[in-house]
Structure formats: C-alpha cells, structure tokens
Amino acid sequence: MIEKPDMLDFSLEEVEQAVQRLGQPGYRAKQILKWLHKGVSHFDEMTDLPQAFRQSLNEQFQIGRIQILERHHSNTGDAIKYLFLLSDHNIIECVVMRYKYGNTLCLSTQVGCRMGCRFCASTINGLVRNLSAGEMMSQVIEVNRELEENGERRIGNLVLMGTGEPLDNYSNTVKFIKMVHYPMGINMSYRNITLSTCGLAPRMIELADEGLPVTLSVSLHAPNDKLRRFIMPAASVYPIIDVIEASRYYYEKTGRRITFEYILIKDLNDRKEHAEELAELIKGFPSHVNIIPANEVSGLDFRRSPERTIQRFIRELESRGVVVTRRRELGLDIEGACGQLRRSRLTGRRNQRYER
C-alpha cells in the first residue's frame, strides 16, 4: 500500500498546486495551512472548505501526526521535556523552556546526529535519518496545542538546537523556517528563531544568501583547530578560520549579531590562555560568547568546570571587550540537554526504534 503524501510537509506553493489540481481556487491553500498549523488531525475538521473538496483531500493526502510518548516537568517548573514517537517508530525529543518573556521551544531536526561532538548525548548512537519539515512543524504544533489546553502562552521563540545538526538537513530545515513564518499559520518572526550549528561553513554561507534573518548560533567550544578537532570531530572538515569567516559573512548579509557557543569542560578548554585566544579569534565584528557549563552525560568522560573557573573565564573575556552571557541552565533534573532523554529511552535496545 502506497502511503499518501503528508500535507504537513507542504509549503504554501505546494498546497496551492495541490488545490488547483483538485479544481479549487488558489486561496483555499491559505485556508488549509491555517487549519494544519492550528493542529487539526483530519481534513473533515476544516469546516470552511466545501464537503466534496474535503473528501478529495482525504482521498489523496494525509495529515501526519507525531505522538507525545512522554513528558517530564522540571522540579523548578521552568522546563518540560517531551519525547515524541514518529510514524516509523523512531523517537525524538524537544524541550519547552519557560522565561519571563515567554516560552521557547528547543526542537530537533534529525533523529540522532552524525557530527560526533564528544560532549553530546545526541551523537552517541549516530544519525538515523533527517526529519521532514512537517515533522519539525509537528513539534511546534503539538506543544502549542498542549500549552493552550493548559491555559499557557504559545511558543514565542524557536531554537533549532535539539537533536541533530540543522545545516546537515539543510533543505528541510530552511523549508521549515519559511513555513513556521507563514502569517496564516504559526506566524513566527524570523528574528525569534535561532539556528545552532557546529560550523558547516559552506552551509552557513548558503543560509546567509537565503535572506532569512534568523539568529545564527555557532558552536565553537575551542579557540584553535587542534583542540576543536578533538572536541568536535566534524571540525576536521572545516578549519576554525573558515567558520569565523562564514560567521562574518552571515553578519554582513543579514545584519544579525553572531552568537558563539562555548561549553566549558574541566581541564580541557577552560584555562586563561583559552579565553585570551578566543577573544583574539572573534574580534572585528559584532558577536557575543554564550558560556555553557558542560552537562555531565553518563558514559562520557567530560566534566563541567568548577564554578570559580567558569567565573574566571568569563572575567578574562570581558576584560578583553568580549560581550559574554552565561546560558541559564534549565531542566537538569529531567535530562534537559540534547539527546539525554532519548538516549535513556534507547539504552539497551538493539536499534534506534521504539516499539510499542
């Protein structure tokens, strides 16, 4: 049996083409997208469409859904971790982070990851497959639905920083970013979207040329190639100077200040000379460094730097004119870091699938 195309994967242009093939006017596409992004599960729920047209949609298309498998609330109430079951029985995760200014969703772009960063739980079992644009959209839709049912605010900011490297799934990621921006749907401002990358320099340049002014967050985690290649094997492909130049190009094309992520790992990248080298590396264009105390992951040897070392590192950067923030740590008690909950669920299984 051939599976029907999932309309949640469709861009506005693709929905318009489908509508016109069914003999309907083009404006029906915006009506359909409004319903899809509101979270309907069946075409029959689209009550402003003609009944015969709804029947045609049912015959030719489906509305893919992901299922909430687990949810974990942090003890402090500042985070919710979701584990989702996909239609092929793979599982992914995302996190809602509650801030005073609103709710942020950190979502996944791949099932697993192949970048190999040594500190990250997401990459331990490798890459299984890319997520479609519709599967990324479904994470937003399902979380919004649950938040609204509980009387909470919808998601106001998106961070593509969950499981996976967004730029390794480039076409689906860019398609999703455009889709979530549709005024008739989620209507997310590009400026409220952050994309995190471990530094795929050619893709960073390609993204700059897309004309989508999302915030780019670049994972450096080391101030030189030797150390960075040890921490992040993917860095062997793109020298750090290429990553910096791609970051500079992104700023010049979009006007968006670059965020450089830097995980502090005890006795590895947290010394005074590392701070000095980092400050020298990134000078010359608007950026800031986001310091992240390492999350300690079972099975990995890396440990977070002591608090006094973290504070000293921040002071060293600030003394050299670097704008520094420290990431607020949310959801530590619910395995909030990328890939931790999914890995816990998969521990002991022979493959990457969750079987009900």
Q: Is the pLDDT of residue 282 over 70?
A: yes
Tell me what the mean pLDDT of segment 193-206 comes to: 97
pLDDT reported for residue 303? 87
Note the pLDDT of residue 1.
55
* Bridge partner residues of 93 (DSSP): 83
Contact status, residue 54 vs residue 44, Cβ threshold 8 Å: yes
pLDDT at 53: 98
Convert the pLDDT of each residue in 222-233 to its tens digit: 999 999 999 999
| Helix H or strand E encompassing 311 | helix 307-319
pLDDT (tens digit per residue) in 24-45: 999 999 999 999 999 999 999 9
Task: Dig out the tokens for 9 from the structure.
Answer: 């994967």
Token pair 């264009």 is found at: 285
pLDDT band at 335 (very low <50, low <70, confident <90, very high): low
Say if 7-60 and 74-346 have the same CATH topology. Answer: no
CA-nearest of 18, 197, 35 to 115 is 197
pLDDT exceeds 90 at position 353: no
Indicate if the pLDDT at residue 336 is higher than 60.
Answer: no
Give the CATH superfamily of 74-346: Aldolase class I (3.20.20.70)
User: For residue range 75-96, what is the model confidence (pLDDT) as tens digits?
Assistant: 988 999 999 999 999 999 999 9
Backbone angles phi, psi at 80, to 5 degrees: -130, 125
- Region 314-322: mean pLDDT is 97
The structural domains of the chain, with segments of one domain joined by +, span 7-60, 74-346
What's the pTM? 0.91
Distance of CA 233 to the CA centre of its chain: 20
**What is the average pLDDT across 58-70?**
93
Helix (H) or strand (E) segment spanning residue 185: none
> Could you report the per-residue pLDDT of 130-173, keeping only the tens digit for each?
999 999 999 999 999 999 999 999 999 999 999 999 999 999 99
pLDDT at 15 over 50: yes
For a pLDDT cut of 90, what percent of the chain falls above it?
A: 81
**Would you please indicate which residues are annotated as catalytic (active-site) residues?**
93, 338
Residue 251: enclosing H or E segment and its boundaries? helix 240-254
Give the pLDDT mean for 48-59: 97
What number is the average pLDDT over the span 256-281?
Answer: 96
DSSP conformation letters of 127-145: EEEEPPHHHHHHHHHHHHH
Q: What is the DSSP string of 7-70?
A: GGG--HHHHHHHHHHTT--TTHHHHHHHHHHHT-SSGGG-TTS-HHHHHHHHHH-B----EEEE
Query: Terminal CA-to-CA distance of the chain, rounded, Å?
Result: 22
- In this prediction, residue 350 carries a pLDDT of 33
**Options 3.10.180.10, 3.40.1440.10, 1.10.150.530, 3.40.640.10; which CATH number does 7-60 get?**
1.10.150.530
Over residues 104-113, the pLDDT tens digits come to: 999 999 999 9
